[in-house]
Chains A and B, each alone.
Chain A
Amino acid sequence: MSAGVLSVHAKPNRAATLILSWALFACGIALYFYVSHARHRDNPEDRVMPTIEQMARGMYSAALHPAEDDEVQTETGNFWQDFPHSMLWKDTKASSRRFLYSMLLLIPAVLLGLHMGLFPYVGVFFLRFILFFDKIVALSLLPILFIAFGIDELSKIMLIVIGVAPTVILDTFNLTRGVPPEQIVKAFTLGAGDFDVAYRVVLKQILPRVLNSIRLNLKAVMLFLFAGEMIASTDGLAYRIALLRRHMGMDVIVPYVLWVALLLFVVDWGMRFANRKLHPWFHE
């Protein structure tokens, strides 16, 4: 049986894997600079597609110049002294804090889903409402969020939680329901109590899948975070992008977008790593 290159049985060797997996990156980058170069030849002051030099300069000042509102207004030339005063660091810190809080608030969501799946009365009480709430477009609730939580941090975090929590709750609920009932019966016959079953039998085995589901939702978390920061804010990565957009600061926006992608990738990778370390028995 001959295995053609495009057949199901094809086995790409190391070199092919390496080249092919980076090919689209190379294409994207080449296309960008090709068009950017052409635009700059046509109009040397073009800001829509900055050249690599412009982006490097933009990023340099974002990462090393003191932010506009910082009390320190001089550069020392030392990266470790300058960076903590820079706009990039402050924005990253502000956005990360919001991100972290909303991730922490997803823990109760997981527990709620677990309880809904195991305890019939809890399930009856919440399920219909959360199924309905899951379909509400969180962004459209913004005026209500402003009234209820003000325009500070709380409303931004709540926007994320309201947007993402129902999905996480429902997913945990379904995973809980998916645990074979025989196991639960067995645990009871071995003398386990309700909460032993919930936390030591069910939660333990669904946790890796729950973590994967949260990983899939990272992008939604980020989307809501960005929406919140763009609507009303004094700092944050999306705040900066929204401001720079007003005068086409693409030379900073493009590196910022890549920076956000990198951060998100690191978080995702970290969660995957933790998942593997915590649950070495889990294979999907």
Chain B
Amino acid sequence: MAGPRQMVCYTHLFGLVAIPVYAARPRTTMRKLLAFFALFSVSAFAGQPAFTVGWSIYAGWTPYFYMNKSGLLKKWADKYGITIKVQRFDYAPSLDAFVARNIEAVTMTNMEALDMPAASGVPTTAILIGDYSNGNDALLVRNGLQMKDLAGKKMLLVQKTVSEYLFDRAMTIEGLRSQLKQVRMINTSDSDIAIAFLSDTSTSAVVTWKPMVSQISKQKGITSLFNSSRIPGEILDLTVVRTDVLNRPDGSGRKFAQALAGAWYEMMAMMTGPGADKVLAAIAEGSEDTLASYKEQLGTTKMFYTPQSAAAFAASPDIKQKMALVRQFCFDHGLLGENTKSVDDVAIRYPDGAIQGKADRVRFAFDLAFMQMAAEGKL
């Protein structure tokens, strides 16, 4: 729970004098504190605006590991005269750190971007659309059950995440929405879900994502009833930046986004170009994975390898319909917060300027500019 920001408070506790300053002008103090920490770090940081991007293990995000390790990101950061740090997190803590404004950019899905930062009053802008899940998330059952048999059965999933969204959509598409509430959902941590499902045969179904899906479907008698390739483009994997960082008056935020976009698409080109296997193997290392397994995951991930394809997707009218489904789901499940009375209270702005929701409450935006610059080679 926003551990890092609270840590800041505790740090202040030891320097008691700092408390009133902090309370009065939190953000300035944050900056002072960062500057204070910077004193201790290498002098290379001196004078340059520093940014941190957080990522977590997922096929479409692990490239950040390689971008950092190979010096690719540093090359682009130097070009724009900034410093970029890369930090690996578990998924949930990475979102917490972003919401607590401890990091400037992070990888997350469109759904979490809406229900975590955007709904917590931290306006967020998606600058890169990396990929969408095209089979990575799946509903698996044992004993050849059908969708209509699931009422009253036990199903494991991480509730209130894309897993529940996928199941909701699956039932809707199959016309079984009325049975949705009869399925007995058991909230199960993603780290234990594979073993929990395989070892307890009283559970009938599981909704999860890769690599767990691959482990589970290897077992005998498991069939896949539905996967995210049936709802293409609804589960988007993004790189997002805080809107206030992007709009910093000194322009360093935009430089940060430009450097990220530049490095990202150079990385994408390496993943498809000659010698790609060597690069992919190095990326797989970032999640303690093998080349074969990583390639298998990429097979069900629709990567936007070129900035043109990503920009075209972001500009298409489809994205609005898809986001409308996602935001309605978030609202129906109370993910936008107890105090959000209308789905329009967390509004989304699209690249063409259209706004979904109340115009004065834009909390989440898709920004094409950086993908376009990359496409036009202007970075």
CB within 8 Å of B: which residues of A?
A: 31, 34-35, 37-39, 42-49, 54, 57-58, 61, 69, 142-143, 146-147, 150-152, 230-234, 239, 242-243, 245-253
Q: Which of B191-199, B284-292, B309-317 contacts A (4 or more CB under 8 A)?
A: B191-199
A230 to B119, CA, bound (A): 24
> With a CB–CB cut-off of 8 A, which chain B residues contact A42?
26-27
CB within 8 Å of A: which residues of B?
A: 1-2, 5, 9, 13, 19, 22-24, 26-27, 92, 96, 99-100, 115-116, 119-122, 156, 158-161, 181, 184-189, 192, 195-196, 199-200, 202-203, 334-339
Q: Which of B24, B161, B338 contacts A61 (CB 8 A)?
A: B338
B24 near A151 with CB under 8 A, answer: no
A208 to B99, CA, bound (A): 49
- Interface majority SS on A: helix, strand, loop or mixed? helix
When C-beta atoms are compared, the residue in chain A nearest to B193 turns out to be A232
B159 near A243 with CB under 8 A, answer: yes
> With a CB–CB cut-off of 8 A, which chain B residues contact A48?
1-2, 5, 99-100, 120
When C-beta atoms are compared, the residue in chain B nearest to A27 turns out to be B13
Q: Which of B92, B96, B120, B187 contacts A232 (CB 8 A)?
A: B187
> With a CB–CB cut-off of 8 A, which chain A residues contact B121?
43-47
Return 10 A-B CB contacts under 8 Å, by A number: A44-B121, A47-B121, A48-B1, A61-B338, A150-B202, A151-B156, A232-B186, A243-B160, A243-B187, A246-B92
Q: How far is the CB of A72 from chain B (nearest CB, A)?
A: 14
Q: How far is the CB of A63 from chain B (nearest CB, A)?
A: 13
B23 near A232 with CB under 8 A, answer: no
Q: Which of B13, B19, B192 contacts A231 (CB 8 A)?
A: B192
When C-beta atoms are compared, the residue in chain A nearest to B361 turns out to be A45
Q: Which of A146, A245, A251, A252 contacts B92 (CB 8 A)?
A: A245
A230 to B189, CA, bound (A): 7
Chain B CB count within 10 A is highest, among A31, A48, A252, for: A48
A38 near B196 with CB under 8 A, answer: no
B192 near A146 with CB under 8 A, answer: yes
Instruction: Kindly list the 5 A-B residue pairs having the minimum CB-CB distance in the complex, ordered from nearest.
Output: A45-B121, A147-B199, A48-B2, A232-B188, A47-B120
> With a CB–CB cut-off of 8 A, which chain B residues contact A246?
92, 115, 158-161, 335
B19 near A45 with CB under 8 A, answer: no
When C-beta atoms are compared, the residue in chain A nearest to B159 turns out to be A243
A48 to B122, CA, bound (A): 11
> With a CB–CB cut-off of 8 A, which chain A residues contact B22?
35, 38
A69 to B336, CA, bound (A): 19
A151 near B5 with CB under 8 A, answer: no
A249 near B338 with CB under 8 A, answer: yes
A120 to B115, CA, bound (A): 61
A151 to B100, CA, bound (A): 34
A45 near B189 with CB under 8 A, answer: no
Given A38-B22, A246-B161, do A58 and B1 touch, yes or no (CB 8 Å)?
no
B160 near A142 with CB under 8 A, answer: no
Given A151-B188, A242-B187, do A247 and B335 touch, yes or no (CB 8 Å)?
yes
A159 to B127, CA, bound (A): 45
A152 to B22, CA, bound (A): 47
Chain A CB count within 10 A is highest, among B99, B189, B336, for: B189
> With a CB–CB cut-off of 8 A, which chain A residues contact B202?
150, 152
A37 to B20, CA, bound (A): 12
> With a CB–CB cut-off of 8 A, which chain A residues contact B200?
146, 150-152
A257 to B120, CA, bound (A): 21
